[in-house]
Amino acid sequence: MTQRFLWLVLVFWAGTGAAIRAQSLGGPGDLSLVQSWPQEPDGWSYPVAVSIPSVAVPAQGFPVGILLHGNGGNGPSMFSLGNDLLTDHILVAPTGYLNSWNLCGENSEAPDIAMLTELVGQLSGFDNVDASHIRLIGFSNGAGLVNQAFIELDDLGIDALVAFVSQMNEPQYHEGEFHRPSGTTDAPQPYCGYNEVAVPVLGRRYLSICNDNDPVIPYGGGPAVGNVFLPAEVAIHQVAVQQGHVGPPVTGVSDDAAEVTVFSYLDGDVVLVRGGAGHGTSEAQLEWATEFLALDAPEDPPVTDCPGDLDLDGLVSVGDLLMLLGEFGCTVDCGPPDINGDGLVGVSDVLAMLNVFGTPCLAVPEVPEVMEAATYAVDVESGIVYAEGLSHDTLNSATATAMPLLLDAYVPENAGPNRPAMVLIHGGGFFGGSRTALSMVNLAQYFASRGWVVFSIDYRLASDMGTVPQAWVDSLSGLSVELGLLNQSLAIYPAHRDAKAALRWVVSHAEDYEINTDYLTVGGGSAGAITSIGVGVTESEDFTEELTVDEDPTLLTTHLGVDFEVQTILDFWGSRISVSILEGSYGVERFDPSDPPLCIFHGTEDPTVLYFNALVLQATYENTGVPYVLHTLEGAGHGPWGANIDGVGLPALAFNFMVAQQALTVQ
C-alpha cells in the first residue's frame, strides 16, 4: 500500500514539476526592462548585465546587488565595485539611456525609477533570489538615482542603499520634504520639476560616501553638473530624521588612521563617511561599505522531534512531501530534505517521510522566562519614531502635514534573549494623554523590571485631525450625538491605525530587542484600553486597508506587510466601542473564537466609561468561548490604578493573567 502511494506521488510530481519549482534567474535573458517615453515612443530596452555566484543556492536564495553606473559609464563596468562590496550576491547592472540616468538636467529623460520598480518586481519572482535583501549601489550619477530610489521605491525587499560620491540634491529635498517629479524633468523648471511630496519607506539602511575635496559634487553643497546639491552633512541628517532620528545633527567621529570621518545615526543604519578621495573612493570607505552591506549568517531552523516536518507546521503532511519532491535529486547542501543524511535527496528520503506521514511533529519552542519580583534594571529609549501620520487642517482636508509618531522602549538590562513583549496605549478620551503618562511609566517599569520588553506609544489625538475613511465618517454622520462625542468617534480611527503601526514596528524590530513575538500583549487604560481591544481582536486589514496610499501616503511608513498576533489583552476600564463602529461601518463581525484572552478591570462607579461596558465585554467573550477574567472594582470610579483585590494590586493581577494564558515560565 505504501509502495503504491509512493508511485502515485512520484507520477504526480513528474507531471507537475513546473508548478513545484519556480524559475531561477540564469542570466540577462531572463530579464526584460522595456520602457517608453517621448524620446523613445516605440519603447527602449535597457541593456542589463547579470552575474550569479557559482556556489550552491542558499535555502532563502541569493541576496541581490543592483549596480548603477556613473554618467558615461555602463552596467558591466560596475561589476568590479560590486564584487569588492558584495559576497555571494547576484549582481545586476543595467545600463542607462545615453549611458546616463535621468536626474534634473541630464540628456536622458528616461523613466529610470519605473525601470527599477520593474526590475525589483521581476527579481522577486525568481526562486534563487532572496527578495528580502535587495540592495541598491550607485556611483556618482548612479548614486543620484539611488537617492531617488530611496525616496520613491516602496518595495519592502529593498533593505539597503549605498550612494558613492553624490549626496541628495535640492530637487530631491526642499522646503522641508522629500520630492519626486510629477511629470517630465527639466532644468529650467523650479526644482527641475520635482514638485510632488514623497514619503520614503521607513526601516531601510542608507550609507552615503562623500569627499570634502570632490571636484565634481561639492561636499558643502551648491550648483554642479546641471543640478544643485545639499551639503552632505545636511543631507544625511534629513535622511536620518525621516528614518526616525530625533534631534540635531550628530558630530562626526574621526578615524585618523583611515583618514575618514563618520557621521552615524540610528545605531549605524544611516551613515555618512567623509573622506578625501576626490571624486572616487578610498580603501577605508570601501571597507565601510562592505561591512555595511554584510548580512548576518542565517539562524539555525527550529528543532523538531522528527525530521520529516520540513515546513515546521507541526505535522508531516502533503506540504512537507511537496517540499521534499521539489529537492528530489539534490546532491549538494540539500539541508532538511535529506532526511537520512546520506548526501542525496532520493527515494529513501521519500520512504522515510511516508513512514511518518500524518504524524504530529511539534516543534518544542523555548518559553520565555519572567520574574515574579522586580529583578532587572530598566533602560529607557525615548522618542523613537515608529511611523508617520497625516494631520489635517480640518476633517480630511486637502492640506495636511506628516507628523512623526513616537514610542518609548523599556528594556530589561541583561535579561538575555527570548523576551515577551508588551505595547502600552495611554488614555485620555482620544483628546489628550501621552506615552509618558505616570500610569504608563509605572506599568512599563513594573513589567520591564520583571523581564518584558515594553513599548509605550503616542498616537494621533482628535486635535491632530488624522485621516478618517469616508465609510467611517458616513456611519457616524447620521447619529444624533453632540460634537464632542462625534470628534471623539472620528479620532478613534487614526488612533487605531497608529497603534497597529506600532505593533508592526515592534514585530519588525523583534531581533533588535530580542523579542519572542509569539508572546505579545497589548494593554491600556480608558481610550488606551478601547484601542487595545480594537487592535487585538480585529483582522490584519482593519484600520489599515480602508485608506489607500494615495489617500494617506504615510501608510508607507507603517511597515505594511508585517504581521503580528496579540496573545493577551489588558483592559483597564475600556469598552468594545471601536470594534462596534468598525462593524457598523463595514458590515463585518470581528469577535470570534480566535480572539486573544482578555483581562478586564473596571470600577462599578465609573462615571466616564460605565461599568455596563465591562458586562458587555464579558457577555461577548462568553459567547465566543475565549478565556477572560473580569476583575470588578467595587465602588471604584474611573482610573483607579492604585486599587487592589484582596490585597493584590492590578499589575500583579495582570501579571498572573499573562503568565497563565501564555504559559510563561516564572522565577
Residue 660 has pLDDT above 80, yes or no: yes
Residue 373 lies in a domain: no
* Whether 41 and 122 share a structural domain: yes
Is the CB of residue 576 less than 8 Å from the CB of residue 533? yes
- Quote the crossing angle between the two packed helices 347-355 and 2-15, to the nearest 10°: 120
Q: Predicted confidence band at 332 (pLDDT cuts at 50, 70, 90)? A: confident
The CATH number given to whatever domain includes residue 522 is 3.40.50.1820
Q: What pLDDT, on a 0 to 100 scale, did the predictor assign at position 351?
A: 83
Residue 301 has pLDDT above 50, yes or no: no
DSSP 3-state of 102: coil
Domain boundary among 276, 293, 310: 293
Phi, psi of 59 (to 5 degrees): -60, -35
Residue 381 has pLDDT above 90, yes or no: yes
In angstroms, the CA 190 to CA 172 distance is 12
Q: Predicted confidence band at 97 (pLDDT cuts at 50, 70, 90)? A: very high
Domain boundary among 235, 262, 293: 293
* Whether 161 and 223 share a structural domain: yes
User: pLDDT tens, 611-630?
Assistant: 999 999 999 999 999 999 99
C-alpha cell, 609: 466609561
Task: Give the mean model confidence (pLDDT) for residues 631-639.
Answer: 97
* Whether 38 and 80 share a structural domain: yes
H or E element at residue 441: helix 438-448
* Whether 184 and 262 share a structural domain: yes
Residue 1 has pLDDT above 90, yes or no: no
* Whether 402 and 263 share a structural domain: no
Beta-carbon contacts of 391 under 8 Å, excluding residues fewer than 6 positions away, are: 400, 401, 402, 403, 460, 464, 465, 466
* Whether 340 and 216 share a structural domain: no
Q: What pLDDT, on a 0 to 100 scale, did the predictor assign at position 338?
A: 84
Residue 370 lies in a domain: no
* Whether 88 and 69 share a structural domain: yes
In angstroms, the CA 264 to CA 630 distance is 49
* Whether 385 and 253 share a structural domain: no
Is the CB of residue 324 less than 8 Å from the CB of residue 354? no
Q: What pLDDT, on a 0 to 100 scale, did the predictor assign at position 106?
A: 78
Q: What pLDDT, on a 0 to 100 scale, did the predictor assign at position 297?
A: 60
* Whether 169 and 141 share a structural domain: yes
The number of distinct structural domains making up the chain is: 3
Q: Predicted confidence band at 561 (pLDDT cuts at 50, 70, 90)? A: confident
> In the predicted model, what is the mean pLDDT of the chain?
90
The CATH number given to whatever domain includes residue 10 is 1.10.1330.10
Is the CB of residue 107 less than 8 Å from the CB of residue 98? yes
Per DSSP bridges, beta strands 598-603 and 419-425 are unpaired
Q: What pLDDT, on a 0 to 100 scale, did the predictor assign at position 484?
A: 67
Q: What pLDDT, on a 0 to 100 scale, did the predictor assign at position 606?
A: 97
Residue 320 has pLDDT above 70, yes or no: yes
In angstroms, the CA 431 to CA 663 distance is 37
Q: Residue-wise over 27-41: b if at least 16 C-beta within 10 A, else e?
A: ebeebebebebeeee
User: pLDDT tens, 230-258?
Assistant: 999 999 999 999 998 888 899 999 988 88
Residue 493 has pLDDT above 90, yes or no: yes
* Whether 37 and 7 share a structural domain: no
Q: What pLDDT, on a 0 to 100 scale, did the predictor assign at position 365?
A: 53
* Whether 319 and 229 share a structural domain: no
User: pLDDT tens, 106-164?
Assistant: 788 999 999 999 999 999 999 999 999 999 999 999 999 999 999 999 998 999 999 99
Query: What are residue 209's DSSP bridge partners?
Result: 164, 273
Instruction: Quote the percentage of the chain above a pLDDT of 90.
Output: 76
Residue 108 lies in a domain: yes
* Full domain range(s) for residue 564: 380-666
Residue 527 lies in a domain: yes
Q: Structure pTM?
A: 0.55
Q: Predicted confidence band at 511 (pLDDT cuts at 50, 70, 90)? A: very high
Residue 4 has pLDDT above 90, yes or no: no
Domain boundary among 364, 389, 413: 364
Residue 188 has pLDDT above 80, yes or no: no
User: pLDDT tens, 39-72?
Assistant: 999 999 999 999 999 898 988 899 999 999 999 9
Residue 206 lies in a domain: yes
Residue 194 lies in a domain: yes
Residue 656 has pLDDT above 90, yes or no: yes
Give the residue with greater pLDDT, 271 vs 3: 271
Residue 7 has pLDDT above 80, yes or no: no
User: pLDDT tens, 576-594?
Assistant: 999 999 999 999 999 999 9
Q: What pLDDT, on a 0 to 100 scale, did the predictor assign at position 2?
A: 32
Residue 262 lies in a domain: yes
Nearest to 195 by CA among 182, 178, 176, 206: 182
User: pLDDT tens, 470-482?
Assistant: 999 999 886 655 6
Give the residue with greater pLDDT, 229 vs 11: 229
H or E element at residue 144: helix 141-152
Residue 318 lies in a domain: yes
Task: Give the mean model confidence (pLDDT) for residues 73-102.
Answer: 94
User: pLDDT tens, 422-438?
Assistant: 999 999 999 999 999 99
* Whether 386 and 315 share a structural domain: no
Q: What pLDDT, on a 0 to 100 scale, did the predictor assign at position 524?
A: 98
C-alpha cell, 64: 541581490
Q: Which residue has the cell 569588492?
A: 84
